[in-house]
Amino acid sequence: MKKIVFSLLLGLCALGTQAQTLKQQGISAEQIVPEGWEHKEAEGDLNKDGVSDLVVLAKPNFKENMMTRDDGYEYNFNPYILAIYFGQEDGNYQQWKQYEDLFEPDSEWSSVDVGINITERGTLNISPDFFASAGTYGTSQTTYTYRFQNGDFYLIGMESTEMSRNTGEMTTVSENYLTWKRQTIEDNAFEEVKKKETWSKMEKKPLKKLGEEGLE
């Protein structure tokens, strides 16, 4: 009987932990994000209604996805959660949509640091930076630009820079999904070299919605 009760208590504790989530409504990111979660935020008018909107990027602290190293350093392998809130006339932010599978979680040897911002034009920039401490010399920084139109957020541009930490070789690719043109620049972070710039046309395709695929 004691074992059954103990098992039930463990189950309830786990359920309580996983029950933590972003609130559907609030007046600030601090009110929306559960206590103890890391988070970033960006404000701006995304849907062009004259009211400021809010984007929250949060990382939960569920213990089952945490690991402590021998030296005491604690890894957080919980994946990021991105949520978009539209501003209301009463001052509250109401959640429009939440995304939980946009980014790969960190591992012991690699990590992704994600930045977010809303431009003056009301576009949403999401910038995941990849870093690996083993297995590759490569690092990458990518910015995805989304615009709210036709009732959803559509990818209208992307800029990605890849660099080799041992040679300094860099390649930056910028793609515009409104003009369907691609710019490629080859450079070096360690040496003065002549930049090589090329332009190419891209095949026109339907614009992708935010959440249709992961962001790397």
Is the pLDDT assigned to residue 162 strictly greater than 60?
yes
Instruction: Give, in order, the Cα–Cα distances in Å from 159 to each of 99, 106, 127, 175.
Output: 22, 22, 9, 6
Is the pLDDT assigned to residue 1 strictly greater than 60?
no
Looking at per-residue pLDDT, the higher value among 10 and 165 belongs to: 165
Tokens of 195: 């930049």
Provide the pLDDT confidence category of residue 112 given band limits of 50, 70 and 90. confident
CA distance 79 to 99: 11
Q: Phi/psi at 135 (nearest 5 deg)?
A: 95, -20
Burial class (CB in 10 A: 0-12, 13-18, 19+), 75: middle
Strands (E), the chain: 25-26, 38-44, 53-59, 66-68, 74-76, 81-87, 93-99, 110-118, 124-132, 138-149, 152-164, 169-176, 181-188, 196-201
Facing residues of 50 across strands?
A: none
DSSP letter at 72 equals S
Q: Per mean pLDDT, which range of 40-54, 59-73, 114-128 is the poorest?
A: 59-73
Greatest alpha-carbon span in the chain? 76
pLDDT number for residue 132:
67
Mean pLDDT of 157-186: 92
Place of tokens 């360690």: 190
